[in-house]
Chains A and B, each alone.
Chain A
Amino acid sequence: MSYSDKAHDHPGHDEHDDHHHGPAKGLMRWVKTTNHKDIGTLYLWFSLIMFFIGGGMALIIRAELGSPGLQFVDPMFFNAMTTMHAIVMIFGVVMPAFVGLANWMIPMMIGAPDMALPRLNNWSFWIMPFAFTIMLSTLFMDSGGPAGGWTLYPPLVLQMGDSFAFVIFAIHFMGISSVMGSINIVATIFNMRPPGMTMMKMPMFVWTWLITAYLLIATIPVFAGAVTMLLTDRYFGTSFFSAAGGGDPVMFQHIFWFFGHPEVYILILPAFGIVSSIIPTFARKPLFGYDSMVYATASIAFLSFIVWAHHMFTTGMPLAGELFFMFSTMMISVPTGVKVFNWVATMWRGSMTFETPMLFAVGFVIMFTIGGLSGLMLAITPADIQYHDTYFVVAHFHYVLVPGAIYSLMAATYYWIPKWTGNMYDEKLGKLHFWISTIFVNVLFFPMHFVGLAGMPRRIPDYNNIFADWNFIATIGAFGFGFSQLLFVYIIIKCVKGGKEATTEVWEGARGLEWTVPSPAPYHTFEVAPEINSTTVTR
């Protein structure tokens, strides 16, 4: 316990009283902390740093794809970049950022003093920097970083040199961290709610995270199993995925996507929760259809387990399988549609203002919908056979992940940073950040639809001249979007250092318990359970 340790260093302090003081001083505060706010902060900074590392890799990819011919990198390194970019962005940016937000906000939203398992919490964060150090270090090893795609399909991935073992080890670490984080979130939500905080009084962000945590607990072990089988195939002579020994390479794809598709929703459900918090605040009107939002989220989570093979329509499945996965995939658009309609209905006849969090949230709804609609196109199996493994797919998942998941993270940052720091961020710069990002992100990803439909496969470092114009435009968009994120960092640092003092409520239309504690939120909140009755606004 860091606080009592600290007390021993200062004999004048009363040990019991020390608990109510602020954080310990110095670097060891961050290493030993068990405070949910500290750990949330660590997660958020970590993912911001990884965002620039993964973004740098994206810029290398886009630079090489700026014009036909090979200009900058060897194709092998290019493949390592596409692989690492995905791993970093998924496991190093979006997931830890959501866990960071969960750490900061879930206890404050449900009126709990901290997470249920604080020491586990410390551990699940501190695994991450080590996991990613190992993962990124493979780029500097003789045999290079993983270059078989983030999907790690055998037999290709088994051709990798011995840095392969490091990749698998790092993935195991990341998985352990995610599962521990998820267990903590589930335990917190079920055990730490004060009397009166019923499940249906919880904010949507808490609901979406609860369901996400279950998805993680259910699927990460499956992924861990799959990569372990790769490891034994590579080093211990097993043949899980080798036909020569009686195995099947496609079996890996089934196992991988049984994890991989729920993973897609792990990356977007918390975003739904964030947007469902922000839109009501700035529309000054309660969330439309709260109950149906909860049920829609649960339905999406359920469906996510029975659609995995839509990533594999070209692997030669039986017709019955293809039909099943086509229909189940199309079904997902129903609950997803319900969510979008509910957000629009929340805005309808509201009294809206458009501060930066609202801009990002509205941007999310619009551009996520574009990505969702192209997802519906991809569900149509005969058409998917043409779309599969082209830039059309790249455009689709970047629309749901960049102006989708990443925008929700930016919206969340602007929305809650006054509560975290006690200062308002620079509104003018925030809006500028939104508009520059939104223009460039579309210049970056929209043309990919066209080159994909016209026949450009994904994961290639070079292409025919007919794709040159759109690729050049996309590259301009990439650099514009990438560099405008420096503005985001500047705004955050500026806000941490100072700015207009934030009120307790921060936003005029704010609803929920997190807006009842002072800004900045004290080191310990809700040490005494808040009183919650039927009239308390909790969401």
Chain B
Amino acid sequence: MTSGVYRWMLLVVCALALPSVAWADWGALNMPVGVTEISGKVYELHMRIFIWCCVIGAAVFAVMFYSMFKHRKSKGAVAADFHESTTVEVLWTIVPLVILIVMAIPAAKVLIEMEDFSDSEMSIKVTGYQWRWQYEYLDQDISFFSQLDSASNVARQANSTVDPASIEHYLKDVDNALVVPVGKKIRFLHTAADVIHSWWVPDLAVKKDSIPGFINENWALIEKPGVYRGKCAELCGRDHGFMPIVVKAVSQEDFDTWVGEQKMKTASADMDAIRQWSQAELMATGERVYAANCMSCHQKEGQGIPGMFPAIAGSDIVNGDMDMHVHTVLNGVPDSPMQGFGSSLSDVDLAAVITYQRSAFGNQAGDILQPSHMRSLRQGLRQSALAVPQNNLKGVN
């Protein structure tokens, strides 16, 4: 069917439903066609079944309304007495069945194509965390985390003075986008570190659950360079609405350049981790890390939410022995929303945020944790993962 017919059907549906159509944003009405062959086919299926539904609905309602206007007692209608007819009943069982078969065949075809993971040219492992994504390029040996951008993060806080409308991609932007080349069949491997998430990018027509302990497969072959935005689609806790996905599709040359830059970054991060940091530097970095990772539960002033999320301000752990503090941040607290940040934050970030927490919000511990020390602690932990953490961390100060 032509796109003109689609538009017309859409118009009828809208006009039926709503008084204020003219006022609303027309861009946000339908499924995107997307930028992969599959997403185009999915869109086509969606429109085809939608048209069938409109036609069936229109036919049924037309008969109903005709009957309701014509066969009224007030118009002198006298009730007939028929109450069965094998012919019609067989007919209206068979006809829908035929329509279903007509619909099921193309749907099955597209589904089979979607499930064909063979011949992929590169693989990216996507791990869901509460509430960020980790991307690992298995062929390029690049790995990084991607989370809500800071502009959205400020505006989305309760009682924020920033108008969400003033931010262009409110809740749809991240700090580090997933950069991929166009024209390559990319295999995504989905898993999660804590609870189930779901990685959804409408323009690529991919949505697959990230399940802790299991790996799901998916793929996309992006045809057009551009920025494609998505969301976590499976309820994953407090900040489920705040872990967007940004896929930046670029040409192969641009992708290669980007890969080079990433390698450089990793090298300089290594340098950072071994040099000595001043308290002021650590505090500044720590404040940024806190805002991005801790604030949504423990709140802006470290006051927490009573009953749900403990306060950082005046906390026994933060003001007490640093061993326990490091242990809590690294490994989290079992059976609670407090996750371990050991695998998601760098040594610099961990050292900075711990240092920050111990001096901010009126906390009195005031001591410093150097990134280099953090690194050795972490390596020590890895070697004896089963040991009691306090013993492992002795001598931190």
Contact = CB atoms under 8 A, between A and B. Distances in A.
A250 B196 CA distance: 9
Contact of B108 (A158, A291, A326): A326
Contacts of A465: 164-165, 170
A316 B170 contact: no
A440 B53 CA distance: 23
A330 B213 contact: no
Interface string A441-473: 011001100110111011111111111111001
Given A347-B67, A463-B241, A470 B307 contact: no
Contact of A473 (B18, B194, B236): B18
Nearest to A451: B28
B394 interface: no
State the majority secondary structure of interface residues on A.
helix
Contacts of A327: 104
B202 A455 contact: yes
A153 B169 contact: no
Interface stretch (A98-106, A142-150, A255-263, A487-495): A142-150
A520 interface: no
A450 B305 CA distance: 35
Given A286-B81, A319-B111, A390-B233, A380 B45 contact: yes
Contact of A386 (B17, B100, B207): B207
A141 B30 CA distance: 42
A118 interface: no
Interface residues of A, number: 108
A377 B53 contact: yes
Interface stretch (B69-77, B219-227, B357-365): B69-77
A284 B79 contact: yes
Interface stretch (B90-98, B253-261, B382-390): B90-98
A264 interface: no
Contact of B17 (A249, A283, A337, A446): A446
A316 B96 contact: no
Interface stretch (B19-27, B137-145, B282-290): B19-27
A369 B235 contact: no
A369 B60 CA distance: 9
A289 B72 contact: no
A457 B172 CA distance: 12
Chain B binding site: helix, strand, loop or mixed by DSSP? mixed
A260 B163 CA distance: 40
B73 A454 contact: no
Given A319-B112, A347-B64, A469-B23, A377 B73 contact: no
A70 to B, nearest CB: 5
Interface stretch (A24-32, A166-174, A302-310, A348-356): A348-356
A234 B336 CA distance: 11
B160 interface: yes
A227 to B, nearest CB: 17
Contact of B83 (A153, A285, A457): A285
Contact of B42 (A234, A244, A350, A385): A385
B96 A334 contact: yes
A509 B73 CA distance: 11
Nearest to A390: B233
B18 A446 contact: yes
Interface stretch (A121-129, A178-186, A338-346): A338-346
Contacts of A373: 53, 56-57
A351 B80 CA distance: 8
Contacts of A381: 107, 111
Contact of A382 (B45, B155, B216): B45
9 contacts: A143-B307, A159-B237, A249-B214, A250-B211, A369-B61, A377-B53, A382-B205, A386-B207, A458-B235
7 residue pairs, one from A and one from B, having the closest CB atoms: A243-B213, A460-B241, A316-B216, A454-B28, A142-B307, A373-B53, A446-B17
